[in-house]
Structures are given as C-alpha cells and as structure tokens.
Structure 1
Amino acid sequence: MEIFRAENVEKKFANHLALDNVSISVPANTIFGLLGPNGAGKTTLIRIINQITAPDKGQLFFEGRPMKGSDVFQIGYLPEERGLYKKMKVGEQALYLAMLKGLSKHDAMEKLKYWFRKFEIQAWWDKKVEELSKGMAQKVQFIVTVLHEPKLLIFDEPFSGFDPINANLLKEEILGLKSRGCTIIFSTHNMGSVEELCDNICLINKSRNILSGHIDDVRKNYGENIYEVGYRGDISSLKSIVGPDYELLKEWDDKYTKRATIKVLTPTQENRLLSQLLPSVEVMSFNEVIPSMNDIFIKVVQNYNSENKN
C-alpha cells in the first residue's frame, strides 16, 4: 500500500522548469529517501506534497485517492530552513504550533511534556528561542513536527547542526516513528544516513526522476561483479586463477588475513570463482562488493548530465 503518489507532475517558475514529468510512489510505513543535487527540484516537490504550492500539471494521491486540502493535517514537515519565532518563549511557541495542528490545549500540553522530558529540554520551557543553540532549536522544531502524530512526516536535512550523540538520538526517534506506523520522506545529502535509514529512494536531477526503487535493489543493480576475498596463502597462487574470465584489481594485507578484489569479466563465471579459489588458497571470507549509495549517486548524476548536456 502507498501513502502518497505523484503522477507526471510538472512545475514551472517563470522560465525555470522545476519539475519535469516527475512520478514517485511512497509506500506506507517506510522511510523514503528523496535525493538529488542542489537545485534538482526536491524542495519544489516537498512544497507540492505539503500543498504550499500546486503543480501546473499532474495528479497527486494520498492513501490511494486524489489528494485534498484537509490532508495537510495528516502531514508533518520539518524544513531545512528552521522557522521558530526568536522572541517567543519556547513552551509558548510549541503550544501555539501544536494547537495550529488541531490539538486541544490540554492534549498539546500533555504531549509536549512527554517530548520535552524525552529530549531533556524541560528547563528551556520559559527561555526565549533566541537563547537556544541551533541543535536545541532543532529539537523543539522536531517535537512540534511530530506532535500531532501525522501519517506522513517530511524531514529535510534533519541532522543538520546536530552533534553525533543528538544525531543518533534523532535517528532512533525516526526509526521509532516508523515502527509505530508512520511513513517518512527523508531528504538529505548524507548518503550514509540514507543507507542506514531508508527503505526506498528516488533520485531527482535536473527536474527529473532519474532513479528510484528499493535501496537494496538499487545497490545490487549497480554492482560491477566485483568480489572481495580474504585468504591465507601465496599471492602467486591467487594470481594463477586469473585468466580471461577474471581480473585481479587490488591486493593488500590487513591485520589478520590477506585480501584481494577480483572482477568477474564473464557474466556466467561468478559461481565458478569461489570453486577455483579453494584449491589455490585458504579462503577466509568471500563477499560481493556492493557499491555505496554515495558512489551510485555520483555515477548516476554524472552519467545523466553527460548524456543530457544543453
């Protein structure tokens, strides 16, 4: 089941085409990575999902039906540009924003007390926002984003400004929200976080969706038939199996074993590689080298740009 779908969405600002026939499908109860270089169109798509702006063309669906204005109350949005009022007190502002989301004063107070305790910021309730550090202000804004328990959450660079401890705290909360049935669209340039958190991704570049799918499938599809072997034995024995079907790319020693990476040049020979290694060396480990999302991001964007020069 999907919670949100965009079909053939187009958005133009003056002479700039921000989104060009973009379609995405966000499965329910998943973390969906919305990726792309600066200026690719991600923020425009996020604003369309939030109904801050409307598409010029295309259709939007929420929970399988055409999206309507009231669906915005089922969405929580943490923008990259933080938006707290600096002169207001923290608690007063959090309560005000919670009530804007439709919570009663009583329910808002109860939920805010819970989250302020959880994030250990009770002492900041009567402080002005301008007295907060960037990380502390982000904690407050995260709280007011999730407080009304929306079905869909959109986080744009949520870890910006956090130290490693608080970034890890936030990651745990994001995973906790998913486990409680929430769906999360997660926009970031940090590919390590994408690999750690995301189930599915969509890569937008130059206003177009150029890559999408389950993250495991995407990484597998961009594999290059390279295997890393941990072994004991003579490198010359390892080299003896390298013929027209294989290429020895690299070999080195680590603390416990010798290691090498071998590229399978003939697609039908992957299964034979291990059987050919075993008589030659003592194999300690044998793993396919799966490319990182960072490598895939760079490769796909560069290839697309070189093929679509204008």
Structure 2
Amino acid sequence: MTQNQAMRGRTVLVTGATGGIGKATALGLAAMGAQLAITGRDQGRTEAAAQEIRAAGSRQVDVFVGDMSSQADVRRMAGEILAALPRIDVLVNNVGGYWSTRHVTADGLEHTFALNHLAPFLLTNLLLERLQESAPARVVTVSSNAHTQGRIDFDDLQGENSYSGSRAYNQSKLANLLFTYELARRLQGSPVTANALHPGVVRTSFGAEDPGTVQRVFVPLARPFMLSTEKGAATSVLLASDPELEGVNGAFFSKGKPRKSSKDSYDRPTAAQLWKVSADLTGVERAR
C-alpha cells in the first residue's frame, strides 16, 4: 500500500484543528487518504482549515464548531458527530491551551483544566461506543513533557486557592496521561487502544490569548529553534496511522518512539480518583 493510500477508508476526528499542531495533523492524515472531521471554535477559521485539508487529499472534511471548554458545546458537537459519522476509526484529542491568569468557563470550572483535560475526557466517553463499533480504533491524546512537572492537587483542582498558569498547565498535561492510562486499562482486551504523546516544542500561537512571561519574553527568542507544526504533528500522525502500532495500548510517545513518562503518571489510585472526579464533573457514567 502506498503512503497516499495508507489511511484510505478510515475516518479521523481531530479536535482543535484550525491551526498549529491540530491542522498539521489533519493535513498529514489527509495526504494519506483519510476522511477527516475537525473541530474549531470559529466557523470561518474552521471552514478555511477544512478547505486546506480537502486540498491536501481528503475527499470529505466534516466541520463541527463549538467551544470545547463548554460541556454543553462538547455534548452538542458529540451528537452532531455521531449523526454525521457512521464510523470513527481514530479520535485525536488535540485541543488545548495555556492561560497565565485564572479564567472560569461557562460551567464554573477553571479554563485550563476544563479544556485540556475534561473536554477530551468527556468527548472520548461520548464517542467511545462509536469507536468500539468501528474497531480496530484508536484514541490519541496530545500531552506534553510538561507533565513531568505536574501534580494532581485534588484539594485545589480548579486553582481557586492558588493559581499559576504553568502549574495549571502542567497538572492538565499529567491529567492527560493519567486519563490515557486509565482508559487503556478499561479498554484492555478490546480492539480500541488509547495512547498519548509529547509533540515537541513547536512554533504555534500557544498561550497567545493570555500570555505569561515565558510566552512574552522567552518564546520569541526561542522561536527560531522550535519545531515546525508539521514536525510537531509527526507523532500524532504516526500514532493515528502506523499499522505496526495496531494493538499498542497505554503508551506514551515522543519523537516517534515509546518513552517512559513520569512516575506520578503511572499512579493507579490517582488515575482512578481522577476518573471518578472527572466523571462527577462531567456527568459521565462512571461504570464505563
């Protein structure tokens, strides 16, 4: 099978695909013949990204618009996705962000935790049955090496008592891994796999909405040395498409290779507690 046909007949949903790593991931998979579905906050930007992805080789690109920090929007989009897509072979949980000051979502939750962790947690659970029906299927979640600095503070998950943009971000990226590993355990023995990745340090508009000192001062200096979005998307594309990774479950990848993540990321009691708290905050059935 040629590279351009490697994903033909497979449907991939990429969240947060209007720019940066998400769009580059969608473009890479479109070039391999995948049918794409993408999410974005802005109708115009999402439609423009869809046009680019169609030009890259995807015959059909479905567009779903909403703010994934809003659980109502995630649920609405999930309903639209299930109505539009008879199968989902790969879900790429790419959406994420960084805010240096504390923001609260429509649900009264801290924005970083809501978007980076609860949104993929909720969307994956809402789409899990369709993924199982489409199996073999894959859930790919974009984490970060920042998870090594993260700690799940169950006493202050929402940063109400003390907030730091970097602390909230690091916690959310650790949560991505704890979620992935717990999901992988729950999917053990099924033809659906769950893996996570570090994309590298990539030239994107990351943190631009509410930049901290790092984004304002150091990122412009480091930008020439950062990865292109295409290189940053390479591991996402690999995890979504490589036939040799069929059956690989509960792994963390960086630079296209499986790596050990932090000790805290393998803590099963923390993962189980985080799943329970996340289920309570989103209304997801805990029995899954």
TM-score normalised by L of structure 1: 0.29
TM-score normalised by L of structure 2: 0.31
More strand by share: 1
More helix by share: 2
